[in-house]
Structure 1
Amino acid sequence: MKDKEKIALFIDADNAPASKIETILSELARYGVVNIRKAYGNWKSPNIKPWEDVLHEFAIQPIQQFDLTKGKNATDIALVIDAMDILYTKDVDSICLVSSDCDFTPLVTRALADGKFVIGFGERKAPSAFVNSCSKFLYLDEEATDEKPVKKTKPNIKSDTKLMNMLRQAIEASEDDEGWANLGTIGRHISNHASFDPRNYGFKKLIDLFSAIDLFEVKTKNGSGTYIRDKRKTKP
């Protein structure tokens, strides 16, 4: 992505931890400038007092939504309406949605169709449809930064069938006759098909993830980068 892209940040304050706002903004700084910052919720509710405490410090605009009907989430509706309005009336390149509970999948898919990059943040309870539809999604249960990744054990990673299939498919999409695939090409293939980030699995970089799994071979070629091969392709 080009430098200084304009990012619009939308926070579902009812369903996201205020303690992670610095983590969120630090991550977004990798992609561009967050020039629109809005947080939605019933600001009369004590449940979102932690967000109220950080609004001014991080220049976030609070948008009030009263709980008019029990069981109906007016916050979600207001956030979606505002996001669509900004997509069509403001010069933004990317949008960021922060929510741990509600399904904003239709909004994400529409933004993607309009050529926007969509970054999501949420806890592990976030709906999988929402998580998977984003261009990139980072969990807030674990640090979404490079400094202190929480390592998962090798057996836990290897038992993640969905992850293993995704990695193998990415290798197969670009492997040479001997089964080797360039790491950079693998990463680009994954990014086109999933909201994947190695930090969600406790690793700083994609190479660290591959190196921790004994199902893959890793080698470096001078001048041509790092290559990965599925060990099942190794000739006896």
Structure 2
Amino acid sequence: MLSSTEARLAVLIDADNASTSHLEALMNEIATLGRVSVRRAYGDWTKPQLASWKSVLLPHSIQPMQQFAYTSGKNATDSSLIIDAMDLLYTERFDGFCLISSDSDYTRLAQRIREQGLMVYGFGKQHTPKPFMQACDRFTYLEIFEEQNKNSDVDFYDSADMLFSKDNQFKPMDVAIALVKNAIATMADEHGWANIAPVKNYILKVEPDFDARLFHYDKFSDFLKAYPRYFELTERYPNDNNHKVVFVRNRGSNLLADAELTI
């Protein structure tokens, strides 16, 4: 039975800018975010480039939305998806939108949805422009699903600099650790401890595309446990119940100070 508090989501896919190779893993990921009541994929289905989509639409209950490319060089799919998204937004039936595309043309759409108080989950390739990623509450690289399925030889440790400014002089892991340390310091109590859930949420507000899986860790807590030099973890059972809550604090205060990392 579905929870009455489960988020109601609309999934809108720009089929012109997405592939089917990771669709099953993508939909499984979205299922963890809430209940999907609208699933639409946009494109010109008369084009051979979208032939691979036709066999996966029905199994995933995705409705194909036809948009002819009337003018060469103009992306009619973008406009069609944006118009439908706004129509759905005004119904006030949804708690969030999942936008699957690597196109920066959806940046303003993501911003507008968030202005309405709804969550925006973005999914796209690593070459997705930063403005679109930053406009989302959370952004997930599609290559992560390929890596999980062993269908890709992408080394996310080496390519994780996509998370941050390309001109950053520090290694991706150094920057990631500094980002986490800053989040812990911001959310910590007077003893330096912070619940890891608010810490992760804070990080995603600063860097929506931060994902522990980029560094080969399944969960954020696994990322923290892998670096005991920087982070100390403890488990608590607040309110005398059996629900475990993990807390973290920075180990020491000057471990990265000399590096003068800038988030």
Q: TM-score when scaled to structure 1?
A: 0.84
Other-structure match for 2:176: 163
Q: Are the aligned partners of 1:138 and 1:200 in contact in 2 as well (CA < 8 Å)?
A: no
Question: What displacement does 1:216 show?
Answer: 1.2
Q: Are the aligned partners of 2:104 and 2:131 in contact in 1 as well (CA < 8 Å)?
A: no
Within a 5 Å distance, the mapping from 1:202-213 to structure 2 comes to 202-213=216-227
Other-structure match for 1:19: 21
Within a 5 Å distance, the mapping from 1:59-138 to structure 2 comes to 59-89=61-91, 91-138=93-140
Q: Which moved more, 1:165-174 or 1:206-215?
A: 206-215
Among 199, 204, 228, which residue is 2:249 paired with? 228
Tell me how far apart the structure 2 counterparts of residues 22 and 210 of structure 1 sit (CA, whole Å). Answer: 29
Other-structure match for 1:216: 230
SS at match of 2:57: coil
Other-structure match for 1:48: 50
RMSD of aligned residue pairs (Cα, Å)? 3.0
Question: What displacement does 1:99 show?
Answer: 0.6
Question: What displacement does 1:43 show?
Answer: 0.7
- Render the CA deviation track for 1:138-166: whole Å, top value 9, x for unaligned: 11112289888x87559x78712653442
Q: Say if 2:186 is the partner of 1:173.
A: yes
SS at match of 1:40: strand
**Where in structure 1 are there 5+ consecutive unaligned residues?**
none
% identical equivalent positions:
35
Question: What displacement does 1:231 show?
Answer: 4.2
Tell me how far apart the structure 1 counterparts of residues 179 and 108 of structure 2 sit (CA, whole Å). Answer: 24
**Where in structure 2 are there 5+ consecutive unaligned residues?**
162-169, 239-245, 256-263
Aligned residues: 233
Q: Which moved more, 1:49-58 or 1:169-178?
A: 169-178
Q: TM-score when scaled to structure 2?
A: 0.77
Question: What displacement does 1:183 show?
Answer: 2.2
Tell me how far apart the structure 2 counterparts of residues 130 and 96 of structure 1 sit (CA, whole Å). Answer: 13
Among 177, 189, 194, which residue is 2:207 paired with? 194
Question: What displacement does 1:103 show?
Answer: 3.0
